[in-house]
Amino acid sequence: MTPDTRTHAHTDLVVDVGPVAHGGHCVARHEGRVVFVRHGIPGERVRVRLTDDGPAAKFWRADVVEVLEPSPDRVPHFWDLADSARSWSHRHPPVGGAELGHISLARQRSLKADVLAEQLKRLAGVDLSPAGQITVEAVGTAAGDGGAGGATDGAAGAAVSGLGWRTRAGFAVTPAGKLGMHAHRSDAILPVREMPLAVAGINALRLWEIDLQGIERVEVAAPANGSRPLVLLVPAPGTRSKRLGGILAQLPDDVSVASLDPATGEVLQLRGRTYVQESAAGHDYRVTGDGFWQIHRDGPETLVGAVTGFLHDGGYLEPGSVVADLYAGAGLFTAPLADAVGVTGSVLSVEGAPGTSRDARKNLHDAAQVEIVQGRVERVLRQKPRNFDALILDPPRAGAGKAVVKQLIDAGPRAIAYVSCDPASFARDLGYFRQGGWGMAGLRAFDLYPHTHHMETVALLTPQP
């Protein structure tokens, strides 16, 4: 798509929307050619606008601009900027990040379960297709349990609607210096005046009212525990400190502000702290700058419960156990693992990012049974072989990969808890595990990203007899 989508000529087609596919779209066909359609629902007849096409292309991409025969699961979109038909009526594509907002939450979870089942069958050879074998679970107050964090009435209402869950959000900046977001698969930046998926602490900053000239990107973190938010500014080259001071003066005094050098990853304090203080599973965690943390307000508690539940129930996590937390981040899983194994056990915590590994050291400084190592997972496992009872594997979206999976198998643990945010890379890695004689002993999937196509899975993997 060209940067100026408003002047680019587009072609419209009428198609019948077919099955859901991984990536936030459904499959349709036009004269034998595959068209990946966003903002539709299987079974609908729609008019679409081609956004990526060409006679030599193997497939086309398209957005729905008009619904001719709607699904009973279609609902009004909660966010005008992400509403495809409304956006295209204003001659621009929708922003990303809420591509399932036109679908009821129950159907969203059903479609995500279909995607997970399809990926597992195609990439791992695991057939869980019969109805009911995979359920994508709602989390927190959306699951009707009152919320892991004791949510307020406002937060509870937001969770039921699938809104107000993001404790972190990233924004672009328009050429005029206004807060914005990229249109999907486009260089065009559209100004925003709300972020319905974000927690109230982010929207309360009203960043759209601030003059952000000289800034390329803004990252915001507002912890679910209500502690001090952090606004992270990524300045454009040549932006002077006086300009940063002008932005600082427009932000509330009780908000921490820092700048990030994208070339070096260095985070510089402008006011307050360069980190946020998160809470989960009875522990507090320092997370610096743009360091990784689960973005759903109830995500950390949910995943800790799933991982420790699988390992404890299987007899792999007990006092005295030897475990490792791989791709450990700031120590979300490391701390409750240390609690479970006690002083007679041990936890090896491995993280590649230096800044995040430093956070883990601060977060776990009083846990003598924890050894924190900064480095690549495969290198650390070679250098520190142990008789592991269990490994926790929480890799980035790209997954672990064939070489790492082989090394994990060679390490000889009794079990592995695999946490994944991408069903395709998870299914691919599961296929590698199965080739090595391992199998899946348990699987849970969670809707940690309502109104988007993303989901989180936790699987228990064990050697097969």
Q: Mind telling me the catalytic residues?
A: 421
Reading the block at residue 384, the tokens are 């520190």
Strands (E), 237-305: 256-260, 267-271, 275-280, 283-288
What is the b/e burial string over 55-78, where b = at least 16 CB atoms within 10 angstroms of the residue's CB?
Answer: eeeeebbbbbbebeeebebeeebb
Reading the block at residue 223, the tokens are 């912890």
CB atoms within 10 A of CB 132: 7
**Residues with Cβ < 8 Å from 383, sequence gap 6 or more?**
none
Give the single-character DSSP code of 93: P
**Residues with Cβ < 8 Å from 187, sequence gap 6 or more?**
3
Task: Count the helix, strand and coil residues of the chain and give each as a percent rounded to the nearest 5.
Answer: 25, 30, 45
**Is the CB of residue 67 less than 8 Å from the CB of residue 74?**
yes
Comparing CA positions, the residue from 42, 37, 43 lying closest to residue 24 is 37
Q: How many CA atoms lie within 13 A of 145 on its CB side?
A: 11
Strands (E), 39-82: 45-52, 59-69
Place of tokens 């008019």: 47
Reading the block at residue 447, the tokens are 């809707």
Q: How many CA atoms lie within 13 A of 280 on its CB side?
A: 28
Distance CA 202, CA 199 (A): 6
**Is the CB of residue 292 less than 8 Å from the CB of residue 330?**
yes
**Is the CB of residue 45 less than 8 Å from the CB of residue 14?**
yes
Instruction: Give the N- to C-terminal CA distance of the chain in Å, as an integer.
Output: 51
**Is the CB of residue 215 less than 8 Å from the CB of residue 246?**
no
Distance CA 108, CA 451 (A): 7
**Is the CB of residue 222 less than 8 Å from the CB of residue 248?**
no
Place of tokens 């142990």: 386
